[in-house]
Structure 1
Amino acid sequence: MQAKTIIVASLLALTITSPFSYAQDAATTAAPAAAPIAAAATALPAAAGTAAAVPAEQVIASLTKENALLQERLKALESCSITSAELAARNSKRLKEMAGDVRAQRQGLADFEGYVKWMSGHVAGYSKYLAAGSVAARFAKVLPIPYAGQASMFTKFVSDAAVSLGASSVSINKYLATSQQFVTRVDALDPARPTHTQEVSDLTRFADQDLLKGMLEVQDRLVTTSQLTTSSLSFLESLNHYVGSTDEYWAKTKSLLKSDDKAEKSFLSESTTALRNKAQAFNAKFILFDATVKKAAPQIKSLVAYDDLIRSMDPRFAKLR
């Protein structure tokens, strides 16, 4: 009787309609398994065997439940499917969001360019104080040494500063052009055009290879400019404090400066104050720029990852991989 029950349950299981091969395999496997299960069940003594045969209803319910789970999984997979065009649309949206940050960067870059030009002109004006300071440093131990701890290297400090500031100016102007090109191309994106997916892909590669490279270069140049500013300001502040408390500096460096001590002291004090104020404004804006760079770098890498997926999905882009 038990063997018949199991065989009936197996036959009923085979009748369950399922679009999945996995459910069919499960039902097919149940039939050959019925014989050993039945033999094992009849071999057990009635007094010793406490486990009853699995009811047919329970087997059917179990297989039905499994079939329903498979259907749910298939629906989930179908809902997760996405086309290359849809991925391109997502990248297009991210590119437009990034363009907003780039526009904010460009507003600050104009101020950076102005500061670099101002600093370049004033470093030349500070050179005489650096030169005089290197002389005074021989007897005024409190004065900081402007370049790498070597007072005799003041000319190298000034020349290196000029070269570095010049390089910063070049990087800023180059990135202004690159970022403008990026913003213009993003604004021109149109999902209705048949070439939209290709345009998004090309723009993503431009952002990775040109925009990010220029952005990081400007970031590096501005860090150097900030360091030069800090070094110059530290020296001028200490020198200004020293000359305000003694005339010994003027006496020993008279040949390097003007004859009018008052005019020199006034110019030195005003220059120090101007550099301090401009340095504070520069550093505040640089913090904002640095934050946008740190945000943009992972965004662009994410865009590239999605673009790689688009190219692998769409045969039209396979040759571009």
Structure 2
Amino acid sequence: MQIRIVIAVSLLGASLITAQAGASEAVPATVPTTAIPAPVAAAPADQSATIAALTKENALLQEKLKAMESCSISSTDLAARNSKKLKEITADVRAQRQSMAEFESYVKWMSGHVASYSKYIQASSVAARFVRFFPIPYAGQASLFTKFVSDSAVSLGAASVSINKYLVTSQQFLSRADALDPNKPTYNQDVSDLVRFADQDLLKGMTEVQDRLTTTSQLSASSLSFLESVNHYVGSGDEALTKAKSFLKSDEKAEKSFLAESTTSLRNKAQVFNGKLQLFDATVKKTAPQIKALVAYDDLARSLDPKFAKK
């Protein structure tokens, strides 16, 4: 009896094991239907990553915008920049004005100097009919020696006029530059107007003086060459100058002394003048491009805020 019971229990256990095994083998067939929702569960993670990336990109854009805003330039900024540069230019203009007094003094001295040796021009006019060696303007052209004196007088007169005119213009520039005030409501307009004045009036007068003084320097060189030539021939035994001597003083030694002193004086004064002219030229070469740069910045300021500069 017990043996039967054991066998029955064994058979029942075996059948249960077989049923469980069959059930476990059938499970894979149902896996695809239960595994479909899995990708949906991963979507929140991907969305979070996308949001994080967009947030980071937005932060970078905000930083770039702030940087651009800090680098932006307004018409007031440009006016302040030009005002600073204008005040720097005033230092060179003041130095130029100090030289103007010495230039004016030299031009006046040259005017009297040229007039004082007009008689030597007459003497050389006679000599030039026979001697063609004089290394002076119009050498060998007796009829033009007198013209040299008259042209010199005109040139020196024009130099004097230019100097005095520039003294007035430069003083106007300095006064207006010193009066610039960023607290005034017309500050931008005042700066813009002064930039235009510097370009159209100050720079024009400056270069005109430069040209006139350069001509004066050339005139000085020609005059010095003339005096040296006359000084060389006066008192010589050249028969060609016999008639020319009649235009000179009767005291030949005094004449030689006068010519020597005049030549030395002109040479020394011309050297000092040319040295100061070189310094003046240097300031013109420095200031001219600075003023042109101011005009460029002023044009930009006007384009940014055209209502403050409609002139």
TM-score, normalization: structure 1? 0.77
Pick 1 or 2: higher relative contact order, CA cutoff 8 A, min separation 6.
2
CA contact (8 A) 1:312 1:318 kept: no
1:42 maps to what in 2? none
The equivalent of 1:209 in structure 2 is 200
Name the CA distance, whole Å, in 1 between partners of 2:309 and 2:171. 30
One of 97, 102, 107 as aligned partner of 1:111:
102
Counterpart pick for 2:53 among 16, 30, 42: 16
Which residue pairs with 2:116 in the alignment?
A: 125
Query: In the alignment, what sits opposite 1:82?
Result: 73
Compute the displacement of 1:68 (Å).
Answer: 6.4
Q: Distance in 1 between matches of 2:294 and 2:247?
A: 58
Instruction: Return 263-272 or 95-104, whichever deviates more.
Output: 263-272
Matched residue SS, 1:142: coil
Match of 2:82 among 88, 91, 109: 91
Give the 5 Å matches for 1:5-44.
Answer: 12-13=49-50, 16-18=53-55
Letter in 1 for 2:184: R
Is 1:276 aligned to residue 267 of structure 2? yes
Deviations 1:63-88 (A, max 9, x none): x5x66664554333222112211211
Q: Which amino acid aligns with 1:171?
A: S
| Pair 9,274 (structure 1): closer, same or farther in 2 beyond 3 Å | farther
Match status 1:170 vs 2:207: no
State whether structure 2 residue 310 is matched by structure 1 residue 316: no
Alignment match, 1:294: 285
Higher mean displacement: 9-18 or 293-302: 9-18
Stretch of structure 1 that moved more, 246-255 or 169-178? 246-255
Aligned residue for 1:30? none
What is the CA-CA distance between 1:319 and the residue it aligns to?
2.7
SS at the partner of 2:117?
helix
Matched position secondary structure for 1:144:
coil
Is residue 130–residue 240 contact of structure 2 (8 Å, CA) maintained in 1?
Answer: no
Give % identity.
72
Work out the CA distance in 2 between the residues paired with 1:151 and 1:173. Answer: 35
Cα distance in structure 1, aligned partners of 2:117 and 2:44: 101
Which amino acid is 1:213 matched to?
K
1:126–1:72: structure 2 CA closer, same or farther, 3 Å change rule?
A: farther
Provide the residue aligned with 2:221 in structure 1: 230
Which residue identity lines up with residue 280 of structure 2 in the other structure? F
Alignment map for 1:175-194 (pairs within 5 Å): 175-194=166-185
Counterpart of 1:167, as a letter, is A
CA distance in 2, matches of 1:88, 1:224: 38
Following the alignment from structure 2 to structure 1, what is the Cα–Cα distance between the partners of residues 43 and 152?
91
SS in 2 for 1:89: helix
Instruction: Choose the corresponding residue for 2:152, options 161, 165, 169.
Output: 161
- SS of the residue aligned with 2:133? coil
Q: 1:16 to 1:250 in 2, by over 3 A?
A: same
Offset at 1:89? 1.1
SS state at 2:242 partner: helix
**TM-score w.r.t. structure 2 length?**
0.79
| Structure 1 residue 6 displacement after superposition | 12
CA distance in 1 between counterparts of 2:278 and 2:67 reads 45
Q: In angstroms, what is the RMSD of aligned CA positions?
A: 2.6
Structure 1 residue 243 corresponds to structure 2 residue 266: no
Residues 61-80 of structure 1 correspond to what in structure 2 (within 5 A)? 64=56, 70-80=61-71
**After the TM superposition, which of the residue ranges 280-289 and 232-241 deviates more from structure 2?**
232-241
**Which consecutive unaligned segments of at least 5 residues does structure 1 have?**
19-63
Equivalent pairs counted in the alignment come to 272
Deviations 1:93-114 (A, max 9, x none): 1111101110000000000111
| Alignment-mate amino acid for residue 86 of structure 1 | D
The CA distance in 2 between the partners of 1:68 and 1:242, in whole Å, is 91
Q: Which amino acid aligns with 1:109?
A: M
The answer to whether structure 1 residue 136 and structure 2 residue 173 are counterparts is no
Give the CA deviation at 1:278: 0.8
